Amino acid sequence: MLQYYYRGVASWTWYYPYHYAPMASDLSRGLGRLTAAFDYGIPFQPFEQLLAVQPPQSAGLLPEPFRWL
């Protein structure tokens, strides 16, 4: 999070694949061995971002060409 706020987006393609954050006790076990490498990637276009976050029930809010997606 600090990198995002102070240096910008580290990666447009990376995501956290779980529903919940790890427990603090989980982090203390292997934190010294933790490494992170990000592929910067290409940012989403504005409507691609909307498609990624809006539920299907809100399709009517999108422009007509994007509603079927």
The residues spanned by each domain of the chain are 44-69
55 or 23, which is more confident: 55
Q: Residue 64: what pLDDT?
A: 87
Q: CA-to-CA distance for 62 and 65, rounded, in angstroms?
A: 8
- Give percent of the chain above pLDDT 70: 90
Please give the average per-residue pLDDT across 54-68, as a whole number.
84
Predicted confidence (pLDDT) at residue 6 exceeds the cutoff of 70: yes
Report, as an integer, the average pLDDT of 24-53. 74
The span from the CA of 46 to the CA of 53, in Å, is 11
